[in-house]
């Protein structure tokens, strides 16, 4: 059973930046695609960024140009650099394989990001 531990969230003013990290308890080099998801109360979890081992990257339109996803397979870690944050980015952020069924739909505790003045 994999464990995913997200960190780096917090309270930031609009226009600010945060860097999220996700540490996996198993090797992720064999996982082709890893992604960051986010969820707000009453809404479904949404995928915001994906990075694959072939170097391909995808972003949701809402974060394109502001967020940067990266991964360090040697350290089993995935990152999300978030710049120019907006109040609508407020959510709990999770990392997982894409699709999440690769890890048996296991989810970590997530990390809360709050963008507010």
Q: Kindly report the number of other CB atoms within 10 A of residue 15's CB atom.
A: 11
d(CA 56, CA 54): 6
Q: How far is CA 65 from CA 3, 10, 49, in A?
A: 30, 21, 11
Would you give the end-to-end CA distance of the chain in angstroms? 40
User: So what's the pLDDT on residue 65?
Assistant: 98
Closest CA to 7 of 49, 36, 41, 42: 36
pLDDT reported for residue 41: 92
pLDDT of residue 105: 85
CB contact at 8 A, 76 and 27: yes
Query: Could you tell me the two tokens for 92?
Result: 């709990």
Q: Which residue in 76, 75, 113, 116 sits closest to 94, CA to CA?
A: 113
Residuewise pLDDT in 10s, the chain (117 residues): 789 999 999 999 999 999 999 999 999 989 999 999 999 999 999 999 999 999 899 999 999 999 999 999 999 999 999 999 999 999 999 999 999 888 888 999 999 999 999
**Residue 104 pLDDT:** 86
Q: With contact defined as beta carbons under 8 Å apart, do 21 and 8 qualify?
A: yes
The phi and psi torsions of 57 (rounded to 5 degrees) equal: -135, 140
């Amino acid at each position: 059973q994999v464990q995913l531990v997200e960190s780096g969230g917090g309270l930031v003013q609009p226009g600010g930046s945060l860097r999220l990290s996700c540490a996996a308890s198993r090797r992720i080099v064999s996982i082709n695609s890893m992604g960051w998801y986010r969820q707000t109360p009453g809404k479904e979890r949404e995928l915001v960024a994906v990075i694959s081992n072939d170097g391909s990257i995808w972003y949701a339109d809402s974060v394109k140009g502001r967020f940067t996803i990266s991964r360090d397979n040697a350290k089993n870690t995935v990152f999300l650099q978030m710049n120019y944050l907006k109040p609508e980015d407020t959510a709990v952020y999770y990392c997982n394989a894409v699709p999440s069924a690769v890890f048996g739909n296991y989810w970590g505790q997530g990390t809360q990001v709050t963008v507010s003045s």
